[in-house]
Amino acid sequence: MFSATYGHRAPLCYDARPSMTPKTVFLTGASSGIGRALALAYAKKGVRVALVARRKAELEGVAAEIRALGGMAVPIVADVAKVHDIEEALREANDALGGLDMVIANAGVGSPKHATRLTVAEVVKVVDVNVRGAFVTLVAALPYLLERKRGHLVGVSSLAGRRGLPQTGPYSASKAALTTFLETLRLDLAGSGVRVTDVQPGFVDTEMSRATATRPFLWTAERAASHIVEELRSAPAVVAFPRPLGAAITASRALPDGWVSYLAGKGVGKPR
């Protein structure tokens, strides 16, 4: 369903644009997982990277790896759930990097849990990081890109946002919200010079995904990052992978709830 929608709308913004690699990237959730892998992948291409995350030690470690490669990294300790933190991080990154070509809202949290065991605090945390944090990052970054009349906004959602699955309520819903928000941004920003892409990973071997017992079509973080970096060169509307898992989740929307629960019980957890 989503692929058909995006496939129809993407030509409004992207077909005429050349493939390109950004010179500067602002990246949240950069201390581990897909974020760390993306930071290193871009650094190897000579991209100057602003690394944003809450954990200072891990963030400094990624920055050190980039500098060892001869690259430039600007580590910024910030919590995406705090609006002031993100606004300040963007200002610092823009000044340090001499402008922002690409902004990637990658930070995310979540773990499998049955609805009867969810707490309000857990739901609030997921919404604060995955929805509020991502929305604020993208919206606060937009003026910097519009001023230059170019740039690329990227949100890392998930294939889990394509339908609700057992024990993934807050996570799946938060990623569905981000996907819808990115689609709206893409439509509103058509013709502005600012491109918008929704990255929808499946199962990637990260600290967060290891709480899921079975992870079909598992990719390493490095493989995922390499794929994302290459696909983002042409600024497509959506980057979704792996294709078999994406197709299966989308097709499952036509199944009765009982079948979905049965299949999920056989080991299907939340992607990413």
Alpha-carbon span 95 to 177, nearest angstrom: 31
Alpha-carbon span 243 to 200, nearest angstrom: 10
Q: What residues contact 138, with CB distance under 8 A and at least 6 apart?
A: 103, 105, 153, 155, 181, 182, 185
Q: How far is CA 207 from the centre of its chain?
A: 15
Radius of gyration of the chain from Cα atoms?
A: 18
Check: CB of residue 100 under 8 Å from CB of residue 144.
yes
Helix (H, G, I), strand (E, B) or coil at 220: strand
Q: Quick check: is 262 catalytic? A: no
Angle between helices 83-97 and 134-148 (to 10 degrees): 30
Amino acid at 28: T
Amino acid at 164: G
Catalytic residue among 6, 42, 144, 171: 171
Between CA 92 and CA 49, with CA 134 as vertex, the angle to 5 degrees is 40
Alpha-carbon span 226 to 3, nearest angstrom: 22
Check: CB of residue 27 under 8 Å from CB of residue 52.
yes
DSSP state of 271: -
Q: Which residues are catalytic?
A: 171
